[in-house]
Amino acid sequence: MSPAALRNFAIFVIFLVLIDLYAYKGVNAALASHSLTLRRLVRFLYWIVSIGILALMIYSVFSMQGSQTRRDHSYVFSLVALFLLFFLPKLVIVVFHGLDDLLHLGRWIWSKLLPGPAEGSGEALDRANFLSQLGLIVASVPFVGVLYGVTKGRRSFNVAHIPIGSANLPAAFHGLRVVQISDMHLGSYGEDLSIVQNGIDLINAEAPDLILFTGDLVNDYADEAERFVPVLAGLNARLGKFSILGNHDYSDYVQWEDPAGKVANLEKLKSIHKAMGFRLMLDEHLTLEQDGEKIGLLGVQNWGKRFQQYGDLGKTMRGTEQLPYRILMSHDPTHWEEQVRGTGIDLTLSGHTHGAQLGVKIGHATYSPAQWVYKHWAGLYNENDEALYVNRGFGFIGFPGRVGMPPEITVLELQRT
């Protein structure tokens, strides 16, 4: 670790210790009226957990310096989950206890400004502790949310059936069932094959005509996908399985000592797509034929407004102008905004956003931090007979869970209108 990185990490640790101390002060204030035995038990549990997590984090940072250990995303993401599980509730406690302290301070200042004795001020100050007590209750919300997300949330797939209507669709393709999956991030699962296998079983149960994977098979390294090859090879579709690359698949987010190693990694990933039975499309197109009629399937390399711009849309589209209906796989939905829209592509399929792996449903609407970053972040969008569907993602990265934003398997039902 470089001196600068070591200094920044030390500052971060000091910040965490200060958060711990002030959050404990809030816990102690909230439990002031409870028995001494309970307060001692809470104090013991609070500090044993806090010190244990801090020690584990420090150990992991200094022990995971080798290039091979950094490939263990599942371990790192598990640490992230453990950290968030206990850190987010502390932040809530800090906010509420901070308000409580400000209220106490305000009452104290007011009592000093008033002439004469401030009768009853002690009782009022005691009652003001309700904010610390409320904070302790509210802190359970992020705790339960994170716990749910890393246990059940990431396993509970949503199979979304989406009708896609178009007057351009040839009659022979009316009723075509296209399953879209995206953002598997297989390196996030570690040795656990069960979640992916469950998703594959759900897909096959839909009896799809076509399976399209819209990028980010791995987090960084091709070997993350090796153990999943037999599982994903079990996907079945009448007209075949097709895929593209996402921004993570190029392994641009890690440092390679040897540039040739990075090239070899991408070539290996391409061969894994083939071993899984997917036809990887790299700025190219093909035609799908049924009962004498044809539609176009196009696959472009990653192109994002804020990410890598490898894709060549002109090359991908060249030769498809006479096809009556075209489906484009493009990983990043900002590509639709910047280049695809207005080209006559009937349906663009994207992923990338994950729906931020976090959502809150109010009524029939779902809100997510993803909408602060992306104009088109999840679901179906239509403009001038051109449609974009943004899949919410199959897997996860960073935070190893999903809260209010379940992993998605999209069944697109093409309809001639």
Domain coordinates in residue numbering, the chain: 3-150, 159-416
Query: Considering just the CA atoms, what is the radius of gyration of the chain in Å?
Result: 26
Residues linked to residue 242 through DSSP beta bridges, in sequence order: 212, 279
How much is the average pLDDT of 199-213? 98
Please check the confidence at residue 390 and state whether its pLDDT lies above 70.
yes
How crowded is the C-beta side of 95, counted as CA atoms within 13 Å? 11
Which distant-in-sequence residues (6+ apart) come within 8 Å of 346 by Cβ?
A: 166, 168, 169, 325, 326, 327, 385, 386, 387
Residue of higher predicted confidence among 124 and 116: 116
Q: Which residue has the tokens 């009962």?
A: 291
Q: Tokens for 48? A: 């044993």
Which of 102-106, 253-257, 409-413 is the most confident on average?
Answer: 409-413
What does the longest C-alpha to C-alpha distance in the chain come to?
97
- Computed over every residue of the chain, the mean pLDDT equals 92
Query: Which stretches within 31-139 are classed as H helix?
Result: 36-63, 73-113, 121-127, 130-138
Strands (E), 244-346: 279-280, 284-290, 293-299, 326-329
How much is the average pLDDT of 226-238? 97
DSSP 8-state secondary structure symbol assigned to residue 413: E
Topology of domain 159-416 in CATH is Purple Acid Phosphatase; chain A, domain 2 (3.60.21)
The SS3 assignment for 156 reads coil
Task: Check: pTM over 0.85? Answer yes or no.
Answer: yes
Q: How distant, in Å, are the alpha carbons of 111, 158, 198, 260, 408 from that of 155? A: 56, 10, 8, 37, 10
pLDDT in tens, 365-386: 889 999 999 999 999 999 999 9
How much is the average pLDDT of 77-91? 93
**Residue 71 pLDDT:** 66
How much is the average pLDDT of 67-94? 84
Please check the confidence at residue 124 and state whether its pLDDT lies above 90.
no
Would strands 293-299 and 284-290 be described as parallel, antiparallel, or unpaired? antiparallel
DSSP H/E element including 5: helix 3-30
CA dihedral 278, 279, 284, 290 (to 10 degrees): -100
Answer yes or no: are the C-beta atoms of 303 and 351 closer than 8 Å.
no
Compute the distance between CA of residue 147 and CA of residue 122 in angstroms, rounded to an integer.
Answer: 39
How much is the average pLDDT of 183-211? 96
DSSP 8-state secondary structure symbol assigned to residue 353: S
